[in-house]
Structure 1
Amino acid sequence: MPMPDFNLLVTLDVLLSEGSVAGAARRLRLSPSAMSRALARLREVTGDPLLVRAGRGLVPTPRALELRGLVGDVVDGANAILRPAEKLDLASLERQFTLRTSEGFVETFGPRLIAHVAGEAPGVVLQFLAKPDKEGAPLREGEVDIETGVVDLATAPELRALPLFEDRWVGVVRDGHPLLEGAMTPERYAAAGHVKVLRRGLHSAEVDEALRPTGHERRVVTIVNGFATAIALARSTELVATVPERHTEGLRHGMASFALPVEIARFTLSMLWHPRMDGDLAHRWLRSTVRSVCARRREAE
């Protein structure tokens, strides 16, 4: 079945508005004969005469009256789609954005992000989802607007990425922990009881790799799948949690942190989104807001 000629919708809208072939021709800058041919084509595709002679003028048929409001809405909607996006009105914006990230990111940056959004766009709701994996389907399918994480080979290649901040691994223990007394050495660090974080994406395997040349290995007591859980266990026990410093700042309140006794390269946490959202003004504003909140946090340190 051939595709309909959608240009006829514009012609029909003007004809029904003018009620005159000559008037419609003037508005569309066509000759009267070209407009007459367009009306003949419309009569053919709709199966209705649309405009019929009444004295010296034309009057719409019942079918034309039925179509008048409908076709006007369709043409207006098409114009809105095809014209450049207008300036974003944050005060009247009503929208829900979904961010997939870790508990640590929400705990650390969530309060400032929510406050910033509420101040500029009170009609916007932020939904935070846990990030159990690095699967790119939620971003591709529109289930998630923004995701945070470390870009690596497992990251879907079509996704856009923008760095938010650099981070490093640190050790975390309860306040007053015996490990805090004296110099921190690879031997003392490895010999302590550890909570090991094992999760897809950002995990503490780099720590074990950095320890290996020193001849030491962490004494793992328990294994968990998230930094929040590791920190919670370290808070109430003698265990050591090794976590990203800035990423978990909000989770480590009231605890003691220390630099690791081995050299480990810093890593970058990025914001990711699908390229189809590049031109969306509201999404662009949200990306700018997330980046701004993370940058201000960094400058305050």
Structure 2
Amino acid sequence: MARPDLNLLVTLDVLLTEGSVAAAARRLRLSPSAMSRALARLREATGDPLLVRAGRGLVASPRALELREQLGPLVQAAEAALRPQKPLQLDQLQKTFTLRSREGFVEGFGPALLARIAREAPGVRLHFLPKPDKDSAPLRDGSVDLETGVVGDSTGPEVRAQALFRDRFVGVVRAGHALAEGGEVTLARYLACRHIEVARRAGPVGRHGPVDEALAASGQARDIATTVAGFSAALALAQATELVASVPERHATGLHGGMHRFALPFTVPPLTVSLLWHPRLEADPAQRWLRGCVREVVAEVLGGDPLSFPG
């Protein structure tokens, strides 16, 4: 079987993008007849009409629509591979990077990260997005450059991950709360209070996350008064009520200033918060620089060994 002409991939990508033989010919600097012959070869190679006349224009076939989703990244990767890589000049870099994280990360590390970037690459902007789930689609489709979070079952197997820091859950209450006074917080005192559950999506009360899983393993359960979608909402409620919030200590440090924090009176497995990115960005100099900035800033802010248990 003869090997396909890979040059046709570029032609097909332009044809599907333009949706017009004449427009594609102009973009590729070919004559309309040469482009028509290329389209005929593509139809023969794929066994599909690809572009079908509809009135005065052309419409893409279902197979063409499917190929259009695949071809863009493929052609871009091929072009990048054949293009000499220029040395990264941070003082001339003009780019916006998008970083997705759960609340607490921006508050805890954002100021130092922005200061570092302003010093090294003043033309760079950071766009922080909330992370409502662990779906890897934003990394895969390129709408997000970097993420921080805990690697889970829904994290795409192709996603690269590097540990940033370890974290553990702690209890947080308002100043003056009963658990802030009277000595050690025992399991009985903890369970006697009403609690705030943090859950990203709807589901049975008390079934979300490692805190409730750890209690359930010993036949215990919290008295859940309310469920919220994030740490910041949980801490805001805890600060204004008698409710107890159980949140990651380091991830939420910037959110619970002025409140009383205590060690949970039962064992909850620690969390490892990682930096996540798609492998297509692995070798990009600007992306490598940004990942290095995030890693170093996190280590500086936390001090010591960020992968050891917090003190």
Q: What TM-score results when the alignment is normalised by the length of structure 2?
A: 0.69
Change (3 A) 1:79 1:150: closer
Letter in 1 for 2:299: A
Q: Distance in 1 between matches of 2:177 and 2:139?
A: 42
Letter in 1 for 2:227: I
**Shift of the alpha carbon at 1:84?**
4.0
Query: Does the aligned pair in 2 maintain the 1:204–1:243 contact within 8 Å?
Result: no
Hey, what does 2:178 align to over in structure 1? 178
Change (3 A) 1:266 1:247: same
**Shift of the alpha carbon at 1:171?**
0.3
Letter in 2 for 1:179: L
Q: Distance in 1 between matches of 2:248 and 2:79?
A: 49
Hey, what does 2:85 align to over in structure 1? 85
Q: What's the CA shift string for 1:25-65, capped at 9, x where partnerless? A: xxxxxxxxxxxxxxxxxxxx89xxxxxxxxxxxxxxxxxxx
Change (3 A) 1:4 1:239: closer
**Shift of the alpha carbon at 1:86?**
2.5
Hey, what does 2:288 align to over in structure 1? 284
Change (3 A) 1:170 1:127: same
Unaligned runs of 5+ in 1: 6-44, 47-77
Q: Distance in 2 between matches of 1:145 and 1:299?
A: 26
**Shift of the alpha carbon at 1:299?**
1.5
Hey, what does 1:137 align to over in structure 2? 137
1:264 correspondence with 2:268: yes
**Shift of the alpha carbon at 1:175?**
1.4
**Shift of the alpha carbon at 1:209?**
2.5
**RMSD after superposition:** 2.7
Change (3 A) 1:80 1:183: closer
Q: Distance in 2 between matches of 1:157 and 1:80?
A: 24
**Shift of the alpha carbon at 1:83?**
4.5
**Shift of the alpha carbon at 1:216?**
3.4
Hey, what does 1:241 align to over in structure 2? 245
Where 2:184 maps in the other structure, the secondary structure is coil
Pick from 234, 248, 254: which aligns with 1:250? 254
Q: What's the CA shift string for 1:238-282, capped at 9, x where partnerless? A: 111000000001001111110000012211000111100011100
Of the structure 1 ranges 247-256 and 214-223, higher mean CA displacement relative to structure 2 is found in 214-223
Q: Distance in 2 between matches of 1:205 and 1:79?
A: 44
Change (3 A) 1:214 1:142: closer
Q: Distance in 1 between matches of 2:197 and 2:124?
A: 38
Letter in 2 for 1:249: T
Q: Distance in 2 between matches of 1:269 and 1:80?
A: 31
Q: Distance in 2 between matches of 1:242 and 1:252?
A: 11
Letter in 1 for 2:187: P
Hey, what does 1:64 align to over in structure 2? none
Change (3 A) 1:84 1:189: same
Q: Distance in 1 between matches of 2:270 and 2:6?
A: 56
**Shift of the alpha carbon at 1:177?**
1.2
| Counterparts of residues 140-155 of structure 1 (less than 5 Å) | 140-155=140-155
Q: Distance in 2 between matches of 1:183 and 1:270?
A: 32
Find the structure with the greater CA-based Rg.
1
Q: What TM-score results when the alignment is normalised by the length of structure 1?
A: 0.71
1:169 correspondence with 2:169: yes
Identity, in percent, stands at 54
Q: What's the CA shift string for 1:85-126, capped at 9, x where partnerless? A: 222110110000000111211111111111111110000000
1:206 correspondence with 2:210: yes
Instruction: Count residues in correspondence.
Output: 231
Change (3 A) 1:4 1:132: closer
Query: Does the aligned pair in 2 maintain the 1:186–1:214 contact within 8 Å?
Result: no
Letter in 1 for 2:296: S
Q: Distance in 1 between matches of 2:104 and 2:267?
A: 23
Q: Distance in 1 between matches of 2:215 and 2:6?
A: 66
Hey, what does 2:234 align to over in structure 1? 230
Letter in 1 for 2:104: G
Q: What's the CA shift string for 1:164-197, capped at 9, x where partnerless? A: 0000000001112111222211111011111111
Hey, what does 1:67 align to over in structure 2? none
